[in-house]
Amino acid sequence: MKPSNRSRRFQHERPVAFIDLETTGTNIATDRVVQIAVLKLASDGPDQEFHTLVNPQIDIPADATRVHGITNADVYGKPTFRELAPTLLELLCGCDLVGFNLSRFDLPLLQAEFRRAGNLFPLDGRSIIDVMTIFHAKEPRDLSAAVKFYCGYEHREAHSALGDVRATRAVLESQLQMYEDLPTTPEQLAAFCSDIRPSIFLDSGCWFHMKNGQVVFAKGKKHNGERLQSVAAEDLSYLEWILALDDVPDDTKEVIRKALR
């Protein structure tokens, strides 16, 4: 950071709430909150912190526990979201909202929890700040950035095909050296990339993920694992049924509409 920038501070006239959720998974339609934390910055006065475990009233999958460390035993006897809803609504009243991946995950899931509790959590008039969006916008995430990060030198042949393939090889070799848990064979590396399941970046409801460059169904008994384009061509009524569901997120419906177009 430049010395001249150190005096710059977050400025706000209204209260601001930084929000983070830990959950049973990444499906906004079906997963639940198991922990919530709020850091509220008042427009004048001291900061306020609120955090609690939440009983999701469903089992916490082992995969989720491996991420955040919260078990079914930890949430036993803790308040449900419905019980916490009045406190949260009062705490967040009139607040602008800040979070990391807030727009695509935490906020839609929080709104879904409020709906299930019989409450509305309107966003009208609030400023929504997603720190992840700022991070991705301000920090390059291209091959040149990867070369500098992993290899420690400038990629001076950027956008030269031969230079780029050489750089890509150098990045992969550096990644293998940096991450000891990363597999070393093509088959294992392909499985690793597939297991990351970038569905959360494709649609917040996690109906789809990417596989070999294709949008593939990640849920649903009827077409799980099938390409969306194939289903659009062969089973239009199924996609129309999904579009008519109330609990399917808007970005999921937009993925389907693009396929239909």
Could you read off the pLDDT of 76-133 as tens digits, one per residue?
A: 999 999 999 999 999 999 999 999 888 888 999 999 999 999 999 988 889 999 888 8
d(CA 136, CA 133): 5
Q: Would the pTM of this model clear 0.75, i.e. be above it?
A: no
User: Does 9 share its domain with 115?
Assistant: yes
User: Does 26 share its domain with 106?
Assistant: yes
User: Does 12 share its domain with 131?
Assistant: yes
pLDDT in tens, 164-204: 888 999 999 999 999 888 889 887 886 777 555 444 456 66
User: Does 233 share its domain with 110?
Assistant: no
Q: Which residues of 177-190 are buried (b: 16+ CB within 10 A; e: fewer)?
A: eeeeeeeeeeeeee
Range of the domain at 116: 3-135
Split into its structural domains, the chain has a count of 3
Count CA within 13 A, CB hemisphere, residue 200: 15
- Which of 195, 210, 230 is at the close of a domain? 195
Contact between 203 and 255 (Cβ < 8 Å): yes
Q: Where are the alpha helices (DSSP H) in 61-160?
A: 62-68, 72-75, 81-92, 107-116, 131-138, 143-146
Longest dimension (CA), the chain: 60
